[in-house]
Amino acid sequence: MNTSVLSNANKIEPLKSRAKVEADFAKAYQAQLAWSQRKTVERTVILDKLRSLLVESRHLIAEAIESHSRQDFRETITSELMPLADSAKWLHKSAKRILAPRYLDGGGSPLWLGRLRSTVHRVPHGLVMIIGTWNYPLFLPGVQILHALAAGNAVVFKPAPGCDRLSHLFVSLLIRAGVPSELVVLLDSSIESAKHAIEIGVDKVILTGSSRSGRTVLRSLAESLTPSVMELSGCDAMYVLPGADMHRVCDLLVFGLRLNGGATCMAPRRIFVPQKSSEVFHRLLAQRLEAPVQRSWCTKLSSQTYHQLWEGVEEAIEKGARIFSGESRRKQNASEEEGPGMVESGHLVLTDVSTEMRLCSADIFAPLAMIIPVEDWSDALRADSRCPYALTASIFGPMEDALRLMKFVSAGFITINDLIVPTADPRLPFGGRGESGYGVTRGNEGLLEMTYPKVVSARLGSWLPHAKLPEATDEELLDGLLQFSHHKDFKARMQGLLQTVRAAISQRKSSKTKNTSKD
């Protein structure tokens, strides 16, 4: 165990002045120029060294994660360390191929453009700002930082409140791996530091947070038209189809309730269950929720989240919902003040929920699930469409039926007969729709988000008809070429070809006549 890393991680710097941030940005841009000139494989070799450092520092990392929702070291391994290490490994293997220039010769270009040789280069943005989240404070910002660096960018990292110590530790590990220290600018976790950075100017922003945070950041980016990726909250749907393995459905629903204390944007919140299957579903779910290990399980919620949850629950009960499992009423001794106060809470499952209830359109990070009875697929799709969030969705049932339904489900990531865990595959992009944001992180597409396309097109040969003065036969030639290239009727295409040839011959004769008269 490297104690120097721990001591460095404990040295939390105060809020940097604007002048200090500007100076750090200038150094980062200078370092980025050199970093971007390195070959992609050289950059990813350095990033790949992070994997072993994560293993060496795994206990330090677990100690530095101050999330109240984290249950144990096992969750840190599966939710943070393993997927981040796998992402570093995947980048080392795949980034060179994904970021390689794309060459296009003239063989596939339109006939009228002539001979061209074009290349699409992937160019780093420059200085990419990563605004981190508190619920998965290592993996989510960590993988975005790795993608930004692999693509040749410098990084500004603004961690979530309460994640300063962990963020210092992570940046220390990057530097130990060989990343130039000036290449990663670590801010403190205050909102003011993010505002300062955006005001000074960055080249792209990647935000993981709530839809409310997304709107706030977008307003600050609008003036400079700074591009962004918004990875925002969810209130995710679970579809239970006829023929679904109900044991699997209930096992995974309980898993989704417990994971990270319910503080997971992909947790199954709205469960659409056919009324014909309702009795079996409720009976099997009750067996799991009433098991001693589940009954004794609890997490800690901020007092603000706890009261937001129960305000929604009480409103839902007034409109006909029932508490199926969990606490029967709000704790009267829970602090009503917003702030650092914590409230211990177990799971809460509601049934007979309808989509007009406020909870069905809320992004509450708590161990909450709502069972919504439906008649059939179309009824479930209509109910799902009333929620503004569309991050992920899960479908349980026969594969053929699930694939058919998948085409109509609005979500950025859909799992079939599973939930949450498949999103950790480093090859796959992740992002949502609607109030769950736009753009993606991770996978090929997420890596390309860290670049912009620079297109270079070179003219081959001397044919430049567009550089000549207009001629009387130009219209006839171009009209014929248009017919020949795109008319649906074969006869009309041949007529267009003849028209083009006649016009070309006429232009050639005219050109010879002009040259003769000049002589």
Give dist(CA 100, CA 88) in Å, integer: 18
Residues 133 and 105: beta-carbon distance below 8 Å: no
Output the domain CATH number for residue 296. 3.40.309.10
Give me the number of domains the chain comprises: 3
The answer to whether residues 168 and 121 belong to one domain is yes
pLDDT number for residue 15:
61
CA angle 443, 446, 451 (to 5 degrees): 130
Residues 243 and 208: beta-carbon distance below 8 Å: no
**Domain presence at residue 153:** yes
Q: Range of 166's domain?
A: 17-232+445-454
Residues 96 and 38: beta-carbon distance below 8 Å: no
The answer to whether residues 185 and 240 belong to one domain is no
The answer to whether residues 217 and 329 belong to one domain is no
**Domain presence at residue 512:** no
pLDDT number for residue 435:
96
pLDDT number for residue 340:
58
Q: What are the pLDDT tens digits along the chain (519 aa)?
A: 444 444 444 444 546 788 899 999 999 999 999 999 999 999 999 999 999 999 999 999 999 997 777 878 999 999 999 999 999 999 999 999 999 999 998 678 888 888 899 999 999 999 999 999 999 999 999 999 999 999 999 999 999 999 999 999 999 999 999 999 999 999 999 999 999 999 999 999 999 999 999 999 999 999 999 999 999 999 999 999 999 999 999 999 999 999 999 999 999 999 999 999 999 999 999 999 998 888 778 899 999 999 999 999 999 999 999 999 998 888 866 554 444 588 988 999 999 999 999 999 999 999 999 999 999 999 999 999 999 999 999 999 999 999 999 999 999 999 999 999 999 999 999 999 999 999 999 999 999 999 999 999 999 988 888 888 888 899 999 999 999 999 999 999 999 999 999 998 988 887 777 666 655
Q: Sign (positive/negative) of CA torsion 51, 129, 411, 285?
A: positive
pLDDT number for residue 512:
72
The answer to whether residues 336 and 259 belong to one domain is yes
Output the domain CATH number for residue 64. 3.40.605.10
**Domain presence at residue 102:** yes
pLDDT tens digits along 480-491: 999 999 999 999
**Domain presence at residue 489:** yes
**Domain presence at residue 9:** no
Give dist(CA 327, CA 341) in Å, integer: 19
Q: How far is CA 364 from CA 128, 323, 391, in A?
A: 29, 17, 14
The answer to whether residues 56 and 189 belong to one domain is yes
368: closest CA among 289, 257, 272? Answer: 257
Q: How many CB atoms lie within 10 A of CB 431?
A: 23
Q: How far is CA 391 from CA 134, 255, 408, 506, in A?
A: 18, 18, 14, 61
Give dist(CA 173, CA 190) in Å, integer: 23
The widest CA-to-CA distance across the chain, in whole angstroms, is 104
452: closest CA among 118, 99, 30, 155? Answer: 99
pLDDT tens digits along 175-188: 999 999 999 999 99
The answer to whether residues 273 and 334 belong to one domain is yes
**What dihedral do alpha carbons 500, 502, 508, 512 form, nearest 10°?**
-160
The answer to whether residues 403 and 267 belong to one domain is yes
DSSP code string of 268-303: EEEEEEEGGGHHHHHHHHHHHHTSHHHHT--EEEEH
pLDDT number for residue 1:
45
**Domain presence at residue 161:** yes
The answer to whether residues 199 and 325 belong to one domain is no
**What dihedral do alpha carbons 400, 405, 406, 411 form, nearest 10°?**
-160
The answer to whether residues 266 and 188 belong to one domain is no
The answer to whether residues 210 and 266 belong to one domain is no
The answer to whether residues 215 and 312 belong to one domain is no
**Domain presence at residue 462:** no
Residues 248 and 420: beta-carbon distance below 8 Å: no
Q: How far is CA 94 from CA 48, 102, 428, in A?
A: 12, 15, 12
* Type of residue found at 433: R
The answer to whether residues 226 and 249 belong to one domain is no
The predicted model scores a pTM of 0.92
**Domain presence at residue 325:** yes
pLDDT number for residue 160:
95
According to DSSP, the β-strands at 368-374 and 389-390 are unpaired
